[in-house]
Amino acid sequence: GAVVSQHPSWVICKSGTSVKIECRSLDFQATTMFWYRQFPKQSLMLMATSNEGSKATYEQGVEKDKFLINHASLTLSTLTVTSAHPEDSSFYICSARESPNSNQPQHFGDGTRLSIL
């Protein structure tokens, strides 16, 4: 089955640090990847849609200069949280779509828990 790998799974760092999270599709090519954020006991909130070779589309209220997304290849998208602060602490999850068909499921990584001290 389609596997999405996310790395790292856990990050603890000081305020002001920039953190990069990688999302890889291991056995398929993903033209589109999605980045979500999830707070405890809440649902997933879409942050941005990442298309290979083009700029990401950010959801309303998500700062594109704060959350930098790069989708340089069909198997890798990265999310960089720049100058992270404690309020950026959250669970970040990526997903990838295997097919260009819009009605196909998304395959999710196992998430990255980010804790900013």
Q: Which parts of this chain interact with other proteins (CB under 8 A)?
A: 4, 6, 32, 34, 42-46, 49, 91, 93, 95, 97, 102-111, 113
Smaller CB separation from other proteins, 49 or 82: 49
Residue 41 CB, shortest distance to other proteins, in Å, is 8
DSSP type of residue 42: S
Smaller CB separation from other proteins, 75 or 112: 112
Closest-CA residue to 71 (of 49, 90, 93): 49
- Name the amino acid, one letter, at 31: T
End-to-end CA distance of the chain: 37
Residue 83 CB, shortest distance to other proteins, in Å, is 26
Smaller CB separation from other proteins, 37 or 84: 37
Residue 10 CB, shortest distance to other proteins, in Å, is 9
Element spanning 9, H or E: none
Element spanning 115, H or E: strand 112-116
DSSP type of residue 53: T
Smaller CB separation from other proteins, 28 or 108: 108
> Which residues lie across from 22 on neighbouring strands?
7, 78
Residue 53 CB, shortest distance to other proteins, in Å, is 16
